[in-house]
Amino acid sequence: MKVNYFGHSCFLLQAAGKRILIDPFISPNELARDINIDEIVCDYILVSHGHSDHVADLIDIAKRTGATIISSFELVQWASKQGAEKVHPMNLGGSWDFDFGNVKMTYAAHSNSLPDGSYGGTAGGFLVKTENKTYYYSGDTALISDMKLLGELYDIDHAFLCIGDNFTMGVDDAIIAAKFINCKKIIGMHYDTFGYIKIDEEKAKQKFEDAGLKLTLMKISDKPEDAEEI
Ligand code: NI
Ligand code: MN
């Protein structure tokens, strides 16, 4: 799988010939100013929850590309009302075989509301199985003991974990989460975008290294040459 980082918690995955965008918050993000949302091409958009720092560009991109939005039942209902044409509703613990692989919606301990204030269902994360590998995207979440179950049941190759603290896990809790899910290769997200979640990147990497783990903090870029192969 190839991954580009579009800042905050937004990634573009390329797997099994499909392009999958996650949590599109790009145009309001000063750190992602070089990325033009009108040039993003994707087949699917996974959305963990409805906070604006995860859905800001969702409707625009979904309408232009015709991509299928995969998220909670409540969030896709809202997206449909905004004019998104293709949606796939899910809920916690459910999984589905898509043409790029299997997606399971996982539990996240976080609040959830949509930009218009309506109820967004439960916040979630995703377990994506594609190209014979398993990836975990935590979404916004606190450290939860349920992550131990993921470590027991699945062989997770790479995990995208929130590390910015204040609204989600910080670095120390993300290290415990990595141990719970039994995954050594972590890609950080939900950090540095705004004041509350600024981190010391070198210190964070060192802490992961000291714990026998590898933290990757990707460069924000939509260029194919900046994609990481994971
Ligand atoms: Ni949130
Ligand atoms: Mn968030």
**Contact assessment for residue 10 and residue 25, using Cβ atoms and an 8 Å cutoff:** yes
In one-letter notation, the amino acid at residue 129 is K
Q: Spell out the residues 6+ positions from residue 178 whose beta carbon is closer than 8 angstroms to its own.
A: 159, 161, 184, 186, 208, 211, 213
**Confidence (pTM):** 0.98
Q: Enumerate the domain spans of the chain.
A: 2-221
Q: Any bridge partners for residue 89, and if so which?
A: 71
Burial of residue 216, with CB atoms counted within 10 A of its CB: 0-12 exposed, 13-18 middle, 19 or more buried? middle
Distance in Å, CA 54 to ligand 2 centroid: 6
- 52, 3, 230: which is closest to 133 by C-alpha? 230
pLDDT, tens digit (0-9, with 9 covering 90-100), for 192-217: 999 999 999 999 999 999 999 999 99
Instruction: For 153-188, write each residue's pLDDT tens digit.
Output: 999 999 999 999 999 999 999 999 999 999 999 999
Output the CA 181–ligand 2 centroid distance in Å. Answer: 21
Per-residue pLDDT, 208: 98
pLDDT per residue over 71-118, tens digit each? 999 999 999 999 999 999 999 999 999 999 999 999 999 999 999 999
Is the CATH code 3.30.360.10 the one for domain 2-221? no
Share of the chain above pLDDT 70, in %: 100
Nearest listed ligand to the Cα of residue 49: 1
pLDDT, position 12 = 98
Could you list which residues have their CB under 5 Å from ion ligand 2? 51, 53, 140
Residue 140 contacts residue 167 (beta carbons within 8 Å): yes
Q: Give helix then strand counts, H and E, for the chain.
A: 6, 14
